[in-house]
Chains A and B, each alone.
Chain A
């Protein structure tokens, strides 16, 4: 049985489209309006970052947004509180580091997410081998845990990752942390192809997908993309309107590309 996130992504894929999942740093000024702007302009789901003091998978832009958010007093609780009333009609996922989960307690965190109407969670520093306590609690609460596959993974590892993934499989686009790059790394499509070979679940490329053109390029192999730093930069520089315009631009590029 698929959860809400996987169901929404499959609907897009089955209709011949490509999935677009933007990332928004929770608690950054204008974040709620930015999520609405994403939903209104063709995002299939939104990934909400819960800021953490030590974000090892994030580059300068998302680090900066996280720090501003933390300095403004954002907490996991304050984010979930606002999400509760945010009825945008598309599934929402959180991206958080494992200490946020561990500190709250796996079970409590999973039920807090469910109570706030969150569909899924991405925990980038929780690899397969350590994921047991969390996925047990998440499965129980109906939260889909997205698993990451990295370019360094040997072939035998990928099926174990896709097997455990719910919602979609996050195919990491490059060796490195989040941030904009001038071109799509060759590893992005190479890994997406390897992952697609071993699963029928939706496969989205994230990290280093930095503009509409790169989104199309990655989606030639994958079922769609997660876009983080390029979205957050627009939120920082131009607020929710700039985010909305950007999501529309990427959506149109994905919808009009010849596959």
Chain B
């Protein structure tokens, strides 16, 4: 695994492209994170909270029914069973403990599907921090349950009405807030993106997924799986599980939505503080992503994914919204597990590609549960 140096680079990707006002804050955060990560008492506190509060370690589940249907051996890493229902809590617990250690009183966060916002609001309640979450107005409408959850947890939620009114614009607005409040506020960024040290730091907070899964797979299979599959929005759940397997022979598959394929359809660009693959027009204007899943509706991707793709270590295929709607139902009926729409993308790719993977073992990161998506799917499916 790459540990970025002072320039924050993974190969040519990453860096720190932020307004001058934020440079000292990014430097301070980098120093604080490196210090905390090397401090056994911080690591113990983090492990304790992840265990006692968030419910780690998360199980793996072998899907016998789907395995029979698809002719593969399918294993799920159950991030859906964490407190707040997704992998996002791993990073948020880490960042809020760090924010407290740095003496910050307030956090801001962006959110797409609302999972990172809910996780942030949850951790803020636990740790006694003030919390404001920025969410695109389109996402506020399609994820209204999560908006209410955040408010119940005591956070302020602001609907962002600029640009495409989705995740990318929520990031812009959170950064604008941070530029104005940087002395008292920590920006709790929700994926492996943004300026250095975020891509590195968020990956370290999520690598517990891959580290656990590596041992769990070894216990179950006696070896590593043939494929490790995860959905990719900004790329945090994928980087988390990939971390355990980058140095193994497993093929690493990050599944992007067809309407938000940063690696698949983008070219190198700079937005939100990082150089990475980015969907953009011929003049360098950032394109609007379009996905059924609010959490993947993002035109960029974390820089470490761009790096892994550029050296051929990981692959980034796409699936369509229709394939995702189908996979969402297949998984629900076959296994009694309703997946989040985000990780239904990973399921959709596995279903499509299963004929080419006969007899192989496939580890899929089930990054979250589908409760938040049930209302949206009820509208799409007309009540089944």
Contacts and interface: CB of A to CB of B under 8 A. Distances in A.
B20 A172 contact: yes
Interface in B179-197: 179-183
A77 B280 CA distance: 16
Interface residues of A, number: 41
Given A103-B280, A103-B284, A150 B168 contact: no
A130 interface: yes
A42 interface: no
Interface stretch (B80-88, B214-222, B268-276): B268-276
A125 B23 CA distance: 10
B18 interface: yes
A100 B271 CA distance: 10
A30 interface: no
B313 to A, nearest CB: 24
A152 interface: yes
B163 interface: yes
Interface in A84-132: 98-100, 102-104, 124-130
A150 B271 contact: no
Interface in A144-165: 147-154, 157, 161
Nearest to A176: B180
B17 interface: yes
A175 B182 contact: yes
A59 interface: yes
A126 B270 CA distance: 10
A253 interface: no
A125 B18 contact: yes
A157 B22 CA distance: 13
Contact of A127 (B18, B172, B179, B283): B18
Contacts of B272: 54, 56
A177 B180 contact: yes
A126 B17 contact: yes
Contacts of B162: 63, 67
Given A54-B172, A99-B269, A175-B180, A127 B20 contact: yes
B223 interface: no
A67 B269 CA distance: 20
Contacts of B275: 102
B20 A148 contact: yes
Interface in A233-248: none
A45 to B, nearest CB: 21
B352 interface: no
Contacts of B19: 56-57, 124-125, 127, 148, 150
A52 interface: yes
Contact of B24 (A56, A70, A152): A152
Interface residues of B, number: 37
A19 B21 CA distance: 23
Nearest to B175: A56
A49 interface: no
Contacts of A125: 17-19, 270, 273
Contacts of A154: 24
Contacts, number: 113
B65 interface: no
B63 interface: no
A258 interface: no
Contacts of A256: none
A99 B21 contact: no
A129 B182 CA distance: 20
Interface in B144-184: 162-163, 168-169, 172, 175-176, 179-183
Contacts of A174: 180
B233 interface: no
Output the residue of A57, A104, A152, A157 with the most chain B CB within 10 A: A152
Interface in B15-73: 15-25
B358 interface: no
A128 B22 CA distance: 12
A75 interface: yes
B8 to A, nearest CB: 9
B308 interface: no
Contacts of B169: 54
B24 A76 contact: no
Contacts of A129: 7, 16, 23
A197 interface: no
B175 A127 contact: no
B164 to A, nearest CB: 9
A103 B181 contact: no
Given A54-B168, A102-B269, A77 B283 contact: yes
Contact of B284 (A55, A99, A124, A157): A99
B332 interface: no
Interface of B: 7, 15-25, 162-163, 168-169, 172, 175-176, 179-183, 268-273, 275, 278, 280, 283-286
* A-B CB proximity, top 3 nearest: A103-B284, A176-B180, A150-B21
26 contacts: A53-B285, A54-B163, A54-B168, A54-B169, A54-B271, A56-B18, A76-B283, A77-B283, A99-B270, A99-B286, A100-B283, A100-B284, A102-B269, A103-B269, A126-B17, A127-B16, A128-B20, A130-B15, A130-B16, A147-B20, A152-B25, A153-B23, A175-B21, A175-B182, A177-B179, A177-B180
Given A56-B19, A70-B285, A148-B20, 4 more contacts: A54-B272, A56-B272, A99-B280, A175-B181
